Amino acid sequence: MNPMQLSEATLAQARAAVARPGYVRETCRVGWLHFGLGAFHRAHQAYYADRLLEQDPRWAISAVALHSSGVRDALASQDDLYCLVELAETAQLRVIGALREILVAPREQPAVFARLEGPETRLVTLTVTEKGYCLDGDGRLDLEHPDIVHDLRADGEVRSVIGFLAEGLRRRRARGAAPFVVVSCDNLPDNGPTLRAAVAAFAAEHDPALARWIEQEVSFPRTMVDSITPATDANLIARVRAESGLYDAWPVQRERFTQWVIEDVPAARIADWDAVGVTLTRDVSVYDRAKLRVVNGAHSALAYVGLLRGHATVAEAMRDPQLAHYVECLLCEEVAPSLRTSGALDIAVYIEATLERFRNPSIRHQLAQIAWDGSKKLPVRLLPSIVEALSAGRPFARLALALAAWMRFVIGRARAGGELTDPHALRLLALGRACTDVPEQDVARFLGLEDVIPRTLSAVPQFETAVTEAYRMLGASGARLGTERE
């Protein structure tokens, strides 16, 4: 080990500006199990755990990597310590000490189940991405998914997080122990109930009584998480070394803004969430819709229109006055009216905070990355706002422009012979190659993608006309925006 590598032994040598754990790690107990050891977990949930540990020693984390041992291997010589860099005009470095154990599931299943079964484990969280839930197109457990088929054979080895949860809960019930609380932190529609249904469906294949117990006794609160978390790269590693005085093999970074909203059900009140900035609310959907339509929707609009205008990152796109004006008008005039709330969330304030986040020059959030998986993102980020605008007779020209820009983006990739990161990549690229720059014909081809744009929307003449006009304008003007300031 490099003598100046971050570890318990060298932590005291970090520069004074580096925030350190405000607790004695050796006195902390593991009460929290997390599946999915990506950067977002280490920058988000582990940050909140770090703050909880300053007042309550029961919330150290045992983190489970479902596949790769890369993070565990990188942090092993660091005693599982790592740096979190909060990106702002003045960056803040914080050493996170909440991880007390890292397990690699394929190699250490007995230890994973020991944690799931142990009474001290009261909270299980997940960041495994949508595909990690093994769901079908209707959002239900896919009983034909290879990992689910494997796990239902009950040969002692588990691959899926659904299998781990079902077996862990089975063991708790067999011992007469109270269940742990399960919190999905992934962008899954209605994530808590969806996960409960998947775990119960898995259990029902062998034990209907266990399935009923899961449905009736186990708490799966809905949740929403938000914080832009760029990937770790060589520049971040070098920056941490220069600013902390210590070498960290795998630091993480995120914007300073961070949000965690958890459904306020009795079982979720197992920690003093309020004290560390977690919002408990009876209606998570208010926050979830706002994030999807404001943050994610504007991101997608920026990505497709911004790429057409030659920009590379969100912050760069926001320095384009015409594009910044377009996004602000899109949010304030076309998205906000669909987000009327009972006062739990001030939408105007939320939009302004979102635009400020997008302007953050310290975040290099690549538009090309945001543009990935458009066929899956647009139906939840943009189309609901369009549907509601149509129903209410409100304008939606800017939303239509974002959808048309996605079509132009796909066609551009197809004609350049480039790759497209999308579940429907092959079909989209073939469609893009077939387009001929006749707006009515090209848009009609895209509107035929019924698993992206439902027939109930594509068949509305007003919708087709608006998208066609936006598509025509983008082709004729080189992505000049019809909503620009003159």
Report whether pLDDT(482) > 90.
Answer: no
Q: Give CA–CA dist 245/4, Å, rounded.
A: 8
Would residue 15 be called left, alpha or beta, if left means φ above 0 and alpha means ψ between -120 and 50 degrees? beta
Q: Is the pLDDT of residue 428 over 70?
A: yes
Amino acid identity, position 302: L
Q: pLDDT at position 479, please? A: 62
Backbone angles phi, psi at 228, to 5 degrees: -70, 125
Q: Which residue has the tokens 């081809």?
A: 445
- pLDDT value of residue 483: 46
**Burial bucket for residue 373 (CB in 10 Å: 0-12, 13-18, 19+):** middle
Please report, for the chain, the start and end positions of each structural domain, with discontinuous segments joined by +.
11-282, 285-477
pLDDT tens-digit profile of 117-164? 999 999 999 999 888 999 987 889 999 999 999 999 977 789 999 999
The whole-number pLDDT of residue 159 equals 95
What's the full length of the chain, in residues?
Answer: 486
11-282 has CATH 3.40.50.720 classification: yes
> What does the alpha-carbon distance between residue 317 and residue 447 come to, in Å, rounded to a whole number?
28
Closest CA to 81 of 247, 260, 275, 256: 247
At residue 484, the pLDDT reads 45
* pLDDT band at residue 481 under the 50/70/90 scheme: low
Q: For 43-66, how does the pLDDT look when each residue is reduced to its tens digit (9 = 90+)?
A: 999 999 999 999 999 999 999 999
Average pLDDT over residues 223-244: 94
CATH number of 285-477: 1.10.1040.10
Task: Kindly report the backbone phi and psi dihedral angles of residue 225, in degrees, each rounded to the nearest multiple of 5, phi listed first.
Answer: -125, 150
